[in-house]
A and B are shown apart, each in its own frame.
Chain A
Amino acid sequence: MLVPLAETSSRANHTGLWRTLKPVIDYSSCIRCEICWKFCPDNAINLEDGRTTPAPNQKVTAFSIPVIDYDYCKGCGICANECPEKCIEMKFEEE
């Protein structure tokens, strides 16, 4: 197997510090379509088990939920802009 010479993952670089606006997901409206995950340029949204997370209906609780990793999210706003349910809100960091 060919492996990269550079040993340290860029995960060492916490780009979340760049952020001025912070995306916050309202899971009670989130239909788990994973569109936000698909379009995040920073790979800062992970898919996790969400069986006990609030949901708009019982059907979607079986699916993964998108969880934003604020260590890396730069706050570009793509996820909020593309979410079909408009359930991601961009909030000022200070709030």
Chain B
Amino acid sequence: MPTSIPEQELMEPGHTACQGCGATLAMRYVLKALGKKTVVSVPASCWAVIPGAMPNRTLDIPMVYTPFAATGASISGLREALDIRGDSDYNVVGFAGDGGTADIGLQSLSGAMERGHNVFYIMYDNEGYMNTGVQRSGSTPYGAETTTTPVGLDRNFKKQQKKVVADIMMAQGVPYVATATIAYPEDLIRKVQNAKKVNGPKFIQILAPCPTGWYYPPEKTIGVSRMAVQSRMFPLYEYSSGTFRLTRPSKPVTVREYVQSQKRFSHMDEDEIRTLQEEVDRRWESLLEKETH
């Protein structure tokens, strides 16, 4: 059967990600969409260790390691340098985690987007600082247990709602903004290819479930990613040239069903699940409004 996504592989096997890692699929699909004329900048994160130690590489394209807070600045610099060399046809991609994007790298990201460089910023969102042992980030959803939000007797699970960086990027007026997730690779790849047509900054947030930090069995990675969309915990959208398109769930599930699929939420009681459901509904309504404006 003809494959539904490009056959070319630029990510090799033998990498050191955990079994069933969603972040690895995010990279695999992004590179399938962009092809060989691509350079990637990766800050401190799981993806900084997934390729293995020097002299090993798992990507068949150049990959630059950049300080944690500096992904945005690094892709600006790479773009300028490649343009001077006459390599304007190369895709420049920042590929950073949610900690490196929602928290520590937010100013650098915002600056690069504002300067208008022709770059991709891909945020792979595993909703926590996973590489250092599952600490909460701004992008961790309400209700989640992490090692810095341990439930214990005091019920110190994360009390704040998820900060959605893609929404911030839309508010900033970034020309191309989208959300995607690994359960829908065709949609993800199409979005990256649409982004490529935009000569300017583009930002894509990819939900990448993490069995190690969300505490679910590794074979469920695709299922959890799918449920995140179907429960509207992670709505998929595309915002391009001022037009906003929201994907309707095809087989809706409740937030309760979603949280029951992962141990990081297993402590949640009915009131807490309702609080989360209400926030999900509120955000969905606000996204629907964007569609009509």
Contacts and interface: CB of A to CB of B under 8 A. Distances in A.
Given A2-B90, A9-B56, A77 B217 contact: yes
A82 B22 CA distance: 14
Contacts of A10: 12-16, 51-52, 56-58
Contact of A82 (B28, B51, B58, B222): B222
Interface of B: 1, 3-5, 7, 9, 11-17, 19-22, 24-25, 28, 39, 51-52, 54-63, 87, 90, 182, 185, 217-223
Contacts of A75: 19
Given A76-B20, A77-B219, A81-B223, A11 B13 contact: yes
Given A33-B1, A38-B5, A47-B3, A4 B220 contact: no
Size band of the interface chain A makes with B: 35 or more
B202 to A, nearest CB: 21
B59 A78 contact: no
Contact of B9 (A7, A14, A43, A74): A43
Interface in A1-56: 2-15, 18, 32-34, 37-39, 41-44, 47
Nearest to B223: A81
30 contacts: A2-B39, A2-B87, A4-B62, A8-B55, A8-B57, A10-B13, A13-B14, A13-B56, A14-B14, A15-B15, A32-B1, A34-B1, A38-B3, A41-B21, A41-B25, A41-B28, A42-B13, A42-B15, A43-B28, A47-B3, A47-B7, A74-B19, A76-B20, A77-B217, A78-B20, A78-B222, A81-B220, A81-B222, A81-B223, A90-B219
